[in-house]
Amino acid sequence: GQNIDQPTEMTATEGAIVQINCTYQTSGFNGLFWYQQHAGEAPTFLSYNVLDGLEEKGRFSSFLSRSKGYSYLLLKELQMKDSASYLCASMDSNYQLIWGAGTKLIIKP
Protein backbone atom coordinates (compact mmCIF):
# COMPACT_ATOMS: atom_id res chain seq x y z
CA GLY A 1 0.00 0.00 0.00
CA GLN A 2 0.92 3.64 -0.10
CA ASN A 3 1.92 5.35 3.10
CA ILE A 4 3.62 8.46 4.40
CA ASP A 5 4.86 8.63 7.99
CA GLN A 6 5.97 11.73 9.85
CA PRO A 7 5.93 12.68 13.52
CA THR A 8 2.72 14.22 14.79
CA GLU A 9 4.29 17.02 16.77
CA MET A 10 7.70 18.50 17.53
CA THR A 11 8.87 21.31 19.79
CA ALA A 12 11.95 23.48 19.27
CA THR A 13 13.44 26.69 20.56
CA GLU A 14 13.64 29.99 18.75
CA GLY A 15 17.02 30.35 17.04
CA ALA A 16 17.71 26.61 17.06
CA ILE A 17 17.69 23.98 14.29
CA VAL A 18 15.04 21.30 13.84
CA GLN A 19 14.84 18.30 11.51
CA ILE A 20 11.46 16.87 10.52
CA ASN A 21 11.63 13.35 9.13
CA CYS A 22 9.37 11.64 6.62
CA THR A 23 9.34 8.07 5.36
CA TYR A 24 7.31 7.05 2.37
CA GLN A 25 6.08 4.00 0.52
CA THR A 26 4.41 4.75 -2.78
CA SER A 27 3.76 2.83 -5.98
CA GLY A 28 6.34 4.44 -8.19
CA PHE A 29 8.06 7.68 -7.29
CA ASN A 30 8.03 11.02 -9.05
CA GLY A 31 9.27 13.34 -6.36
CA LEU A 32 8.93 14.34 -2.72
CA PHE A 33 7.34 17.62 -1.68
CA TRP A 34 7.32 19.62 1.53
CA TYR A 35 4.63 22.18 2.28
CA GLN A 36 4.10 24.56 5.20
CA GLN A 37 0.61 25.09 6.56
CA HIS A 38 -0.32 27.62 9.22
CA ALA A 39 -3.44 26.78 11.20
CA GLY A 40 -6.58 27.29 9.13
CA GLU A 41 -4.64 28.42 6.08
CA ALA A 42 -3.63 26.93 2.74
CA PRO A 43 -0.57 24.71 2.37
CA THR A 44 2.27 26.62 0.72
CA PHE A 45 5.02 24.95 -1.30
CA LEU A 46 8.46 24.77 0.32
CA SER A 47 10.57 22.27 -1.59
CA TYR A 48 10.76 19.48 -4.14
CA ASN A 49 13.30 16.66 -4.34
CA VAL A 50 13.47 13.95 -6.97
CA LEU A 51 17.17 13.10 -6.86
CA ASP A 52 19.14 11.94 -3.82
CA GLY A 53 20.79 14.68 -1.85
CA LEU A 54 20.25 17.99 -0.17
CA GLU A 55 18.45 20.98 -1.63
CA GLU A 56 19.07 24.24 0.22
CA LYS A 57 16.77 27.22 0.06
CA GLY A 58 17.62 29.93 2.57
CA ARG A 59 16.89 28.78 6.13
CA PHE A 60 15.14 25.66 4.85
CA SER A 61 16.80 22.57 3.35
CA SER A 62 15.32 19.28 2.21
CA PHE A 63 17.06 15.94 1.85
CA LEU A 64 16.05 12.81 -0.04
CA SER A 65 17.25 9.21 -0.04
CA ARG A 66 15.29 7.25 -2.62
CA SER A 67 16.83 3.91 -1.67
CA LYS A 68 15.67 4.37 1.93
CA GLY A 69 12.30 5.97 1.14
CA TYR A 70 13.31 8.81 3.44
CA SER A 71 13.31 12.58 3.44
CA TYR A 72 13.83 15.31 5.98
CA LEU A 73 13.16 19.02 6.17
CA LEU A 74 15.77 21.03 8.05
CA LEU A 75 14.84 24.41 9.45
CA LYS A 76 17.65 26.64 10.72
CA GLU A 77 17.61 29.81 12.84
CA LEU A 78 14.05 29.10 13.89
CA GLN A 79 11.69 32.03 14.16
CA MET A 80 8.34 32.20 15.92
CA LYS A 81 6.62 32.51 12.53
CA ASP A 82 7.90 29.01 11.68
CA SER A 83 5.30 27.60 14.07
CA ALA A 84 3.11 25.66 11.64
CA SER A 85 2.40 22.19 10.35
CA TYR A 86 4.82 20.75 7.81
CA LEU A 87 3.34 18.36 5.27
CA CYS A 88 5.33 15.71 3.44
CA ALA A 89 3.90 14.36 0.18
CA SER A 90 5.18 11.79 -2.30
CA MET A 91 4.17 11.80 -5.95
CA ASP A 92 3.33 8.30 -7.16
CA SER A 93 3.54 6.67 -10.58
CA ASN A 94 0.20 8.26 -11.59
CA TYR A 95 1.52 11.70 -10.64
CA GLN A 96 -0.86 11.83 -7.69
CA LEU A 97 0.32 13.21 -4.36
CA ILE A 98 0.12 10.94 -1.33
CA TRP A 99 0.10 13.11 1.78
CA GLY A 100 1.31 12.60 5.29
CA ALA A 101 -0.85 13.84 8.17
CA GLY A 102 1.63 16.63 8.88
CA THR A 103 4.03 17.50 11.69
CA LYS A 104 2.94 20.31 13.97
CA LEU A 105 6.02 22.33 14.91
CA ILE A 106 5.82 24.39 18.08
CA ILE A 107 8.48 27.07 18.57
CA LYS A 108 9.17 28.25 22.10
CA PRO A 109 10.95 31.50 22.95
Partner 1 sequence: DADVTQTPRNRITKTGKRIMLECSQTKGHDRMYWYRQDPGLGLRLIYYSFDVKDINKGEISDGYSVSRQAQAKFSLSLESAIPNQTALYFCATSDLGDSTDTQYFGPGTRLTVL
Phi, psi dihedrals of residue 79, rounded to the nearest 5°: -120, 160
Nearer to partner 1, 78 or 86 (CB): 86
96 touching partner 1, by CB under 8 A: yes
Query: Per rule CB under 8 A, is residue 10 in the interface with partner 1?
Result: no
**Per CB under 8 A, 69 contacts partner 1:** no
Q: Is the dihedral of CA 78, 84, 90, 91 positive or negative?
A: negative
Q: Which residue stretch of 10-18, 20-28, 71-79, 97-105 sits at the interface with partner 1 (rule: CB under 8 A)?
A: 97-105
Interatomic CA distance for residues 107 and 64, integer angstroms: 25
